[in-house]
Structure 1
Amino acid sequence: MSCYGDQHTMLSSDDVLPPPGDFQVLLLTLDSVSLSWSSPQGLTGPQTFRVTWGFDGETSSTRVKGGHHLEISSLKPGEKYQFNMATEGEDGRQSRWVSASLSTVVPPRDLKIDHLGDTSFTLHWSKAEGMEKVPQHFFISNCIPGTDTLTAITDDCHKTFSNLQPGTEYTVSVTTVLSNGEQSESVSTTVCTILPAPELLNVDSVDTTSAAVSWSQPPGLDQTQHHYQISYRCPGTELHITTTSSPSITLSDLKPATEYSVTVCTVLENGKQSQLVLTTFTTVPTAPVQLTVDTTSAAVSWNQPPGLDQTQHHYQISYHCPGTEPHYTTTSSHSITLSDLQCGTQYSVTVCTVLENGKQSQLVSTTLTTVLPAPDQLTVDSVDTTSAAVSWNQPPGLDQTQHHYQISYHCPGTEPHITTMSSHSITLSDLQGGTQYSVTVCTMLEDGRQSQLVSTTLTTVHFQWWRRPSRVAAVCVLLAVIIGLLDSYATSERDQLQASYNTLTKERDQLQNSLNTRTTERDQLQNSLNTRTTERDQLQNSLNTRTTERDQLQNSLNTRTTERDQLQNSLNTRTTERDQLQNSLNTRTTERDQLQNSLNTRTTEVDKLMKSLNTTTMERDQLQKEIERLNKASCPEGWRKFGSSFYYLSTEKKTWENSRQDCLERGADLVIINSEEEQTFINGFESVKWVWIGLTDSVTEGTWKWVDGTPLTTPRYWWSGEPDGGTDQNCVEIYYISSGQGVWRDFDCSFSQEWICEK
């Protein structure tokens, strides 16, 4: 910012020396300026210049010898400074003053555009460095070339412009405005609103050879001619391009199980295009067919779908029973054996084709029911003449399943006896001695389904006390006793005992045979146990494999969950930004209404001011006539004339009140200063340093008024730090300064000194 000096006389002691030429003031920073000038016309050799500057009565000065440039720093930001310059001679003579004024108002900085949209954008800026605490507001203008300019005023360092035209270039400028009305230069930038792209691009449906795609019309284009350009392709093929004026299209003649990328953009009549919006989809692979299930095992098989001979793929199998989470596994073959199933349970099995990029076909499904296991290791624990104890092991896989057991037993020629229990053993009673029984056991579920039967046989003994092979020794002892008593018993009794002995010997042999049979069965059971242990280990390995697959799937699920949460957070962020923009819009609407109200108020004030102007114009005309009358009058002796007024400098000293009384007796009053020229004239009374003037706050502390009752407004010429007297210093004196306009200070009204009258 620069300002050239005005060539007008302010004060001179001798008008012989020529003033400096081409006086120019340039703002460097918010608190420094650069002054430059040329040599006075007709002068050669070294020259000396006197420079003064200040604002609101604060004045500083310096001399420049032999140069034509001066930098002044430590200025107060946001103030209007007056700069004066005169040529000085070696004998103290001085040319007339040349002057210039400049405001230390720096424009805003760091203009930045964000939240750029199709119908709005937000402009941000920073206050000038060093002016952060200076009261200020900003004047903003926004226009399209060839249209009317839109303006606004704000105290904030940002402004949101809305209801704009999409795809249009705007020029925006910002100016700093201080509370005193001083303005900086404008800084500006250009911005082009975005041509909105289609919204909510969505793939509505996909099958093996076609896909339906739709989108929403961009906002702000209701009155603008436009259409949409759609392009789509799969890897390794040429791009297909088509156009439509509707917000949807059906793409046909696509390849099965193939990923396609689709882009859509808005196109204006002049060919200008929006940004592209993109989506992808994969056409549906043909599903597996011919599912088969073996009736005795969970084996599933299918045929490879057609069209995938050259495409990498595998199959994902999911199976579960009611009330449980699905189990997932994959295979590249066309069959699989499912293991670790629950006994006697119906399973739903689904199979789908999966491509390398993770795209899946539609699901096909079937159901199967696993076999209910029979009780294991059915054993006869003990037998006597009328009862037998039978036990078995719980079938594997039924720990979490409600079940019980059905036991059936009978001897040849009789009806079966049937009973049920939930435990793993039973004692059969009321049996016939020395009789063979057939016993069967099966597992039963709550719904009545039964497993296969397991069976065994047992034979009750003749006598209760010979029930166990372990009593053979006791029988032998008893026989020895009987033989010892033969001499004392009859021969017939000996024969009976011999017969009993023979019977017991035969039974012992039978028991020995039974023991051998049980030993053989035990060995067979041990072999079965070893086989089951091997199968269990194999099942454990299968379980570990499935556990690993489950963990991998769980990790995939966790990853998808994290991605979902991130997308949800993004959605929440966009929602918050939308709400903030809505709040900003509401705020701007309120500000617009307030500005409209302010405009209405200003219009009313302008009307009032116009009436006041008319009144003032009449008063001015009357005063002009009075001035002309006074100008015709001669200047009284001892008075000085300036403009249309006469001034008297006292030759004695009095208090402020007595000084005013003296003026009133002379038909005048203490001087009232109305202009800079008058202030400079008063400062020219060089015979005294301090004189009273007609300014006081004796009525209301801090409210300065002239003696005619008018309040002090502007200009002010207070000395630095003045007024500072509080309630003790209520009258104003002017202090003479050899160059410039002099300064004011408040002082004790009872102090006696010279004064100046004006009439």
Structure 2
Amino acid sequence: MSCYGDQHTMLSSDDVLPPPGDFQVLLLTLDSVSLSWSSPQGLTGPQTFRVTWGFDGETSSTRVKGGHHLEISSLKPGEKYQFNMATEGEDGRQSRWVSASLSTVVPPRDLKIDHLGDTSFTLHWSKAEGMEKVPQHFFISNCIPGTDTLTAITDDCHKTFSNLQPGTEYTVSVTTVLSNGEQSESVSTTVCTILPAPELLNVDSVDTTSAAVSWSQPPGLDQTQHHYQISYRCPGTELHITTTSSPSITLSDLKPATEYSVTVCTVLENGKQSQLVLTTFTTVPTAPVQLTVDTTSAAVSWNQPPGLDQTQHHYQISYHCPGTEPHITTMSSHSITLSDLQGGTQYSVTVCTMLEDGRQSQLVSTTLTTVHFQWWRRPSRVAAVCVLLAVIIGLLDSYATSERDQLQASYNTLTKERDQLQNSLNTRTTERDQLQNSLNTRTTERDQLQNSLNTRTTERDQLQNSLNTRTTERDQLQNSLNTRTTERDQLQNSLNTRTTERDQLQNSLNTRTTEVDKLMKSLNTTTMERDQLQKEIERLNKASCPEGWRKFGSSFYYLSTEKKTWENSRQDCLERGADLVIINSEEEQTFINGFESVKWVWIGLTDSVTEGTWKWVDGTPLTTPRYWWSGEPDGGTDQNCVEIYYISSGQGVWRDFDCSFSQEWICEK
């Protein structure tokens, strides 16, 4: 804490000491200060300075020679001190005083923020070192730039602020206030409440090239302008960033069969961002294209879907004829030859792309009809021979054919069972993947719910802290009420006492009224004497001016030719049948200033009886126009007599000065 002294412009004169410059007071500890200043303007060489300090009428002083720094210790903590300084000449003359004030109250220390949330925080601090046992409380202010300041007073070393705006920067100040009302400087810190992140981030739907993502608005932002920033990418690509004001977005132009990571954060108008929330999803693979069928060989082919050059995948082929179970097989090539088909039968064939994790594309389908072979009847020998040979061969081969048919039937049965098992496996795989996705979704929802629970728990604790704080404040207010009630009773007693004193003063007033009447009679008598004196003055005005005196109006003025103290100067005037000059008008001031042979002369004005109450030597108070110099009077208890300082023709000013200093004087009679 530091204070600078008052700086005043000095009148230019070779005979006037300039005051010190850049007067500064710095608080070092509870009971010590450091004073510093610069050399007076226009002065060189060693200099001497007079320093005084004090509070409530207690004053100390010291003299500093050849330096521009002073440390003062053993001060009383918690008091407001006044520090004064003046340049001092070798002859005892002093410059105009410069001053500064400072309170020995040290501000709090160790400001710390904890329990920082989106709508509240708690501020802790410590009492100033050495003031732990000094009665004190603290004045706290909290504000957002451009808004009204919120204030509070507490005896504790902590304060919880609630019902704040999320993501907002607050400036908090704490000031020590003593029981006598003295305050320290404020110490401040800034804190920014947490901006809550979006909640319940979810992938609503996914296809080959797009995905729909949604989330819930963070709590506490209903009245706050905000939007959301969405970032998404797949491995090996640049990050895509977009913004929206709604709590959902559809991402497009995605790659099929690709895993994407998506992050969402809340953004305020001032650019502040919340923490990121993350989720992932994989786009659906594309279906095979240009599916073709060769009905003569039952060969099926297709083209590889686009975008799968770097992705592991295979194809699932299913075919069947009406009334039969589908046959399912898989392969990594782009074609397949179907076997064991029935002649002259229409088959339905479907193909889809499958990834390693079991995800599959949409189905593409086609139909084919196998060729039916038939013998035509034609009467000829060749045909007869052929029929005969066929019968013979059929008879010879019947046994082998029967065995082959049995094996074929077993083969067909096993193939059918294999296909059924494959279908079951594919179904179970699909169900497993769906369950895994559901598990992932439930896990995410569980984590989000856990975060929400943690947030609510924190809010509950903050509300409990607020309740405890309010309870403490209520108790403090009750104590304050009790104190005020006691003070009211004391004030009532004081009022009763003052009423009694008023009655006593009324009696004294009545007595004084009687005395005034007596004084009025004396005044009348004095008035008659004054009239007689006036006549004597008029007679004297007609007389000639004594030697060495000057006449102005109805008075004569004498300028001394030697130097004496103020008291000795007045004694000389009294011995001459006069007194030190009393200036009653601007014309008389101008006349007195016409004595150009000297710079300073004593006049008949002093406050030696009562400090600060200036009276002329005839006992009358100073009520006529004043001609004090700028900053005068400023001498305190050691400068109680007044001199006229000659500046230029027709101009002069008054200064209070040390009565023991010897200089010329002016008498008046």
Q: TM-score, normalised by structure 1?
A: 0.33
Describe the shift of the 1:572–1:156 C-alpha distance in structure 2 as closer, same or farther (beyond 3 A). Answer: closer
Give the superposition deviation at 1:147. 2.6
Report if aligned partners of 2:257, 2:308 keep a CA contact under 8 Å in 1. no
Report if aligned partners of 1:58, 1:720 keep a CA contact under 8 Å in 2. no
Which one is further off, 447-456 or 227-236?
A: 447-456
Which one is further off, 79-88 or 497-506?
A: 497-506
SS of match in other structure, 2:197: coil
Which of the two has higher C-alpha Rg? 1
SS of match in other structure, 1:742: strand
SS of match in other structure, 2:347: strand
Which one is further off, 549-558 or 628-637?
A: 549-558
Report if aligned partners of 2:285, 2:355 keep a CA contact under 8 Å in 1. no
Give the superposition deviation at 1:613. 36
SS of match in other structure, 2:324: coil
Give the superposition deviation at 1:25. 2.4
Aligned-partner Cα distance in 1 for 2:217–2:414 = 106
Describe the shift of the 1:494–1:158 C-alpha distance in structure 2 as closer, same or farther (beyond 3 A). Answer: closer
Describe the shift of the 1:655–1:675 C-alpha distance in structure 2 as closer, same or farther (beyond 3 A). Answer: same
Aligned-partner Cα distance in 1 for 2:28–2:310 = 89
Describe the shift of the 1:85–1:11 C-alpha distance in structure 2 as closer, same or farther (beyond 3 A). Answer: farther
| Residue-by-residue CA offset, 1:424-468 (whole Å, 9 max, x unaligned) | 999999999999999999999999999999999999999999999
Aligned-partner Cα distance in 2 for 1:262–1:603 = 97
Give the superposition deviation at 1:276. 1.4
Q: Partner residue of 2:232? A: 232
Describe the shift of the 1:223–1:291 C-alpha distance in structure 2 as closer, same or farther (beyond 3 A). Answer: same
SS of match in other structure, 1:131: coil
Aligned-partner Cα distance in 1 for 2:526–2:509 = 24
Aligned-partner Cα distance in 1 for 2:438–2:26 = 108
Which one is further off, 507-516 or 581-590?
A: 507-516
Report if aligned partners of 1:9, 1:98 keep a CA contact under 8 Å in 2. no
Aligned-partner Cα distance in 2 for 1:90–1:271 = 67
SS of match in other structure, 2:647: coil
Which one is further off, 136-145 or 548-557?
A: 548-557
How many percent identity over aligned positions? Answer: 100
> Does residue 513 of the first structure (1) align with residue 423 of the second (2)?
yes
Describe the shift of the 1:602–1:709 C-alpha distance in structure 2 as closer, same or farther (beyond 3 A). Answer: closer
Describe the shift of the 1:728–1:424 C-alpha distance in structure 2 as closer, same or farther (beyond 3 A). Answer: same
Q: Partner residue of 2:58? A: 58
Question: Residue 335 of structure 2: which of 413, 425, 432 is its match?
Answer: 425
Give the superposition deviation at 1:265. 1.7
Give the superposition deviation at 1:179. 2.3
Q: TM-score, normalised by structure 2?
A: 0.36
Which one is further off, 570-579 or 275-284?
A: 570-579
Report if aligned partners of 1:404, 1:422 keep a CA contact under 8 Å in 2. yes
Give the superposition deviation at 1:73. 3.1
Which one is further off, 174-183 or 647-656?
A: 647-656
Describe the shift of the 1:199–1:562 C-alpha distance in structure 2 as closer, same or farther (beyond 3 A). Answer: farther
Which one is further off, 729-738 or 57-66?
A: 729-738
Describe the shift of the 1:522–1:53 C-alpha distance in structure 2 as closer, same or farther (beyond 3 A). Answer: closer
Which one is further off, 186-195 or 388-397?
A: 388-397
Aligned-partner Cα distance in 1 for 2:368–2:389 = 28
| Residue-by-residue CA offset, 1:21-58 (whole Å, 9 max, x unaligned) | 66442334443322234566887754443434344566
Aligned-partner Cα distance in 1 for 2:429–2:224 = 99
Residue segments in structure 2 that go unaligned for 5+ positions in a row: none
Give the superposition deviation at 1:198. 0.6
Describe the shift of the 1:428–1:676 C-alpha distance in structure 2 as closer, same or farther (beyond 3 A). Answer: same
Report if aligned partners of 2:289, 2:302 keep a CA contact under 8 Å in 1. no
Which one is further off, 468-477 or 90-99?
A: 468-477
SS of match in other structure, 1:485: helix
Describe the shift of the 1:747–1:630 C-alpha distance in structure 2 as closer, same or farther (beyond 3 A). Answer: same
Q: Partner residue of 1:376? A: none
Give the superposition deviation at 1:120. 3.2
> Does residue 9 of the first structure (1) align with residue 24 of the second (2)?
no
Report if aligned partners of 1:58, 1:717 keep a CA contact under 8 Å in 2. no
Aligned-partner Cα distance in 2 for 1:233–1:499 = 54
Aligned-partner Cα distance in 2 for 1:429–1:634 = 161
Which one is further off, 521-530 or 282-291?
A: 521-530
Describe the shift of the 1:605–1:638 C-alpha distance in structure 2 as closer, same or farther (beyond 3 A). Answer: same
Report if aligned partners of 2:291, 2:301 keep a CA contact under 8 Å in 1. no
Q: Partner residue of 1:522? A: 432
Report if aligned partners of 2:639, 2:659 keep a CA contact under 8 Å in 1. yes
Q: Partner residue of 1:665? A: 575
Describe the shift of the 1:288–1:73 C-alpha distance in structure 2 as closer, same or farther (beyond 3 A). Answer: farther
Describe the shift of the 1:99–1:200 C-alpha distance in structure 2 as closer, same or farther (beyond 3 A). Answer: same
Report if aligned partners of 2:96, 2:632 keep a CA contact under 8 Å in 1. no
Report if aligned partners of 1:111, 1:123 keep a CA contact under 8 Å in 2. yes
Give the superposition deviation at 1:263. 1.5
Describe the shift of the 1:757–1:413 C-alpha distance in structure 2 as closer, same or farther (beyond 3 A). Answer: closer
Report if aligned partners of 2:83, 2:99 keep a CA contact under 8 Å in 1. yes
SS of match in other structure, 1:469: coil
Which one is further off, 203-212 or 387-396?
A: 387-396
Which one is further off, 698-707 or 405-414?
A: 405-414
Describe the shift of the 1:742–1:478 C-alpha distance in structure 2 as closer, same or farther (beyond 3 A). Answer: farther
Question: Residue 644 of structure 2: which of 726, 734, 744 is its match?
Answer: 734
Aligned-partner Cα distance in 1 for 2:396–2:593 = 173
Report if aligned partners of 1:653, 1:755 keep a CA contact under 8 Å in 2. yes
Q: Partner residue of 1:196? A: 196
Aligned-partner Cα distance in 2 for 1:187–1:484 = 113
